[in-house]
Amino acid sequence: MIKKYGLGAIVAGSLAFTAPAAMATEFINILTGGTSGVYYPLGVALSEIYASGIEDSRTQVQSTKASVENLNLLQQGRGELGFALGDSVKDAFEGNAEVGFAQPLENLRAIAAIYPNFIQIAATSASGAVTVADLAGKSVSVGAAKSGTEVNARKIFGALDMTYDDLGKVEYLPFAESVELMKNRQLDATVQSSGLGSAALKDLSATQDVTYVSVPAEVAATLGAPYAAGVIPAGTYPGQDADIPTLAITNILVTSTAVSDETAYAMTKLLFENLDTMKAAHAAAGAINIEDAVKNSPIPLHPGAERYYKEMGLM
């Protein structure tokens, strides 16, 4: 049964409780990403929403290396909800050892397709990089090893007949650490796959002279779904005065078969009933809408989520 009452407090920025641990009957661990990305603040918002809306629940937000790690943790029963990129979800369900899934993760189930990630590649203006091909010979951070960002980077370079060997140096670092290296002139560029308005990139653009590198539209055509052509609109970051062609990939909220139908139903319902709270946590959530939530999922919907969408007349 869903019961609503006042928002619980976030403890140390990552935990929310509605009752003492001894009384908690429903534990919801939300798997996110690095604290400087978009997954984390949205995960914190969801923890508040669920703590106040699901009776006798205890929620926790876990910072992770994002998509690949989240999906493996869900399969292992070490999380109840996780954020992940659509291509990683597809690779996980089918089993793609190259990107970190030794066997198909058949327990995964979808809650909702949410906002799109955009490939955002920031390079120092001194590097002279304007398009992805210009990164040849440069030092580039491609994201944490086997993260969703790193999977994206490898596929984009592959679509252009490039490999990491074509780069001058490869770093496997989360967003914030990549930005710090660029500030210290130890790195030419960072590849970041996230919602628009990344805190790390805002920080970088506000303090450094950077260029946002374009990704040719033909890369989307080569890679196919779930990749699509996208744009980083002018003004998204300080000093970025032109639209930047790039790629977009849908993010998916994922759960597992170990989560009950009632809990999955509540998580889905409360998400869409509290979109204002999500938008307040990060502007990227402005792109979440229920009409797109059930479209083009590479994995089956959880029966609890499916029940909610049927009630809303979407299935």
Residue pLDDT, tens place only, 202-261:
999 999 999 999 999 999 999 988 889 999 999 999 999 999 999 999 999 999 999 999
What pTM did the predictor assign?
A: 0.80
CATH of 10-115+251-311, one of 3.30.70.360, 3.40.190.10, 3.30.450.20, 3.40.50.720: 3.40.190.10
Neighbours of 97 (CB within 10 A): 9
pLDDT surpassing 70 at residue 15:
no
Distance separating alpha carbons of residues 274 and 120, to the nearest angstrom: 28
**pLDDT at position 75, please?**
97
pLDDT surpassing 70 at residue 120:
yes
Distance separating alpha carbons of residues 135 and 82, to the nearest angstrom: 32
Outline which parts of the chain fall under CATH 3.40.190.10. Answer: 10-115+251-311, 117-249
**pLDDT at position 189, please?**
98
pLDDT surpassing 70 at residue 112:
yes
The overall average pLDDT reported for the chain is 91
DSSP code, position 38:
S
Distances from the Cα of 175 to the Cα of 136, 178, 221, 237, 265, angstroms: 21, 5, 27, 15, 33
Name the architecture of domain 117-249: 3-Layer(aba) Sandwich (3.40)
What is the amino acid identity at position 72?
Answer: N
| Strand positions, DSSP E, the chain | 10-11, 15-17, 26-31, 57-62, 81-85, 108-124, 139-141, 169-171, 189-194, 210-213, 227-232, 244-256
**pLDDT at position 224, please?**
87
